[in-house]
Amino acid sequence: MSFDVAKIRQDFPILSQTIRGKPLVFLDSGASAQKPRVVIDAMRNAMETQYANVHRGLHWMSERTTEAYEACRDAIAGLVNASDRAEIVITGSVTNSLNLVAHSYGRVMKPGQAVIISAMEHHSNIVPWQMLRDERGIELRVCPITDAGELDLNALETLLADRKVGLVSITHMSNVLGTYTPVERITQMAHAAGARVMFDGAQAIVHRKVDVQAIGCDFYAFTGHKLYGPTGIGALWARRELLEAMPAFLGGGDMISSVTYEKSTWAQVPHKFEAGTPPILEGIGLKAAIDYFLSIGHEGIAAHEQDLTNHAIARLSAIEGIRILGRAQDRGGVISFTLDNAHAHDVATLLDRQGIAVRAGHHCAEPLMHRLGVESTARATFGMYTTREEIDALADTLIRVREFFV
């Protein structure tokens, strides 16, 4: 099936809106993507016809809902090519997934061991490690990036050399620079140094095929709401033997095998890590989103978004006073930029007046902002439904914004 953006747009009810009298130009999918009709319908249908709590009811409703919810785990396993559905832990977000690893795998690390992150991480892949450092005496090492915005692999080699590193936790795609990191290479380097590897796939999984077996990593985290699914659900893929060896994180219902006041025992993986009533409706919605995403196909989506990225870089670079941050060889549809004499918030407000939604600020990546020498940037991010015409609207409006602040 050929990629047809006009047809895809019809699947997203929200895109036909007008904002302040102008057609919506939504260039903030990297923060959270819009939802196709099939996701909305799946969640509504579940609430209208077959909703109950999961994993515990002996009645028809609960059995049907459990089946529908657990189908999400299979969909996720298929999406990332996990060899075993028990390797999929359903969480609330990437942040939850990263914290799970920090609090659980982090507890089996020994004081004096180190965690490596990169200089282009989201706060969610910085702060949990700082907490671990302060609680457990784990050293936190930051792998620098080059001026082009690529991971400095020579520096990574050096940081791994003393073999004290227990875990390398790095983004698969920068939410500021759009840089993809060489995940296979990083994994090989880390494993050669005896370290485990985790990737934050919040941005990457939306744009390219992720195959955890081909990458060879140990943990991979992603979230549903950037993948055209609902908020409140994310996932952690991890090797089964790791999950089995790791201590439980949150305690509560659903994660136990038996409970007495003296002692409790844990459920099998992945349920050991899924305390409490899970995001049931969100799971049903995410399953629909993954099915929809795969029906469009990685190949078509990736080619379309690469075309948009090239077009956006060409158009924006041609505007005087605009500086695009990052020029990695391998990059995707995340474009951060600054405009001379104008603060990103003012740029965003002016764009908003024309119905154009971009993000402005530090993008939850303050240390990266310091590295780049900027306070904040405006950021346009693309999804499968983004069009060349929307990029043109952004560029044409930015030319006027520039005149406004000269």
Partner 1 sequence: MFDDLRDLYQEVILDHGRRPRHATRLESFDATAKGDNPMCGDRVQVWVKYGPDGRISNTGFEARGCAISIASADLMAESVQGRTTDETRALFTAFRELARTGQCPACDAALNEPMERLKPLSGVHEYPSRVKCATLAWHALNAALEGTNNATSEGGTP
Q: Which residues bind partner 1 (CB under 8 A)?
A: 341-346, 349-350, 353-354, 360-362, 366, 369, 375-376, 397, 400-401, 404-405
Q: Which is nearer to partner 1, 189 or 344 (CB)?
A: 344
Do residues 256 and 266 make contact, with C-beta atoms less than 8 angstroms apart?
yes
- Give the pairing of strands 114-118 and 377-381: unpaired
Taking the complex as a whole, how short is the minimal distance between the CB of residue 350 and partner 1, in angstroms?
Answer: 6
Task: Classify 217 as helix, strand or coil.
Answer: coil
Q: Which is nearer to partner 1, 391 or 401 (CB)?
A: 401
Phi, psi of 234 (to 5 degrees): -145, -175
Q: Which is nearer to partner 1, 102 or 342 (CB)?
A: 342
Taking the complex as a whole, how short is the minimal distance between the CB of residue 355 and partner 1, in angstroms?
Answer: 12
Distances (CA, A) of 314 to 30, 200, 337, 347, 365: 20, 29, 13, 19, 25
Q: Which is nearer to partner 1, 29 or 376 (CB)?
A: 376
Taking the complex as a whole, how short is the minimal distance between the CB of residue 402 and partner 1, in angstroms?
Answer: 12
Helices (H) and strands (E) counted in the chain, each on its own, are 14, 17
Beta bridge partners, 111, equal none
3-state SS string for 70-137: HHHHHHHHHHHCCCCHHHEEEECCHHHHHHHHHHHHHHHCCCCCEEEEECCCCHHHCHHHHHHHHHHC
Taking the complex as a whole, how short is the minimal distance between the CB of residue 353 and partner 1, in angstroms?
Answer: 5
Q: Which is nearer to partner 1, 198 or 316 (CB)?
A: 316
Which residues are known to be catalytic? Answer: 364
Written as one string, the DSSP assignment of 27-53 is -BTTT-----HHHHHHHHHHHHHS---
Taking the complex as a whole, how short is the minimal distance between the CB of residue 343 and partner 1, in angstroms?
Answer: 4
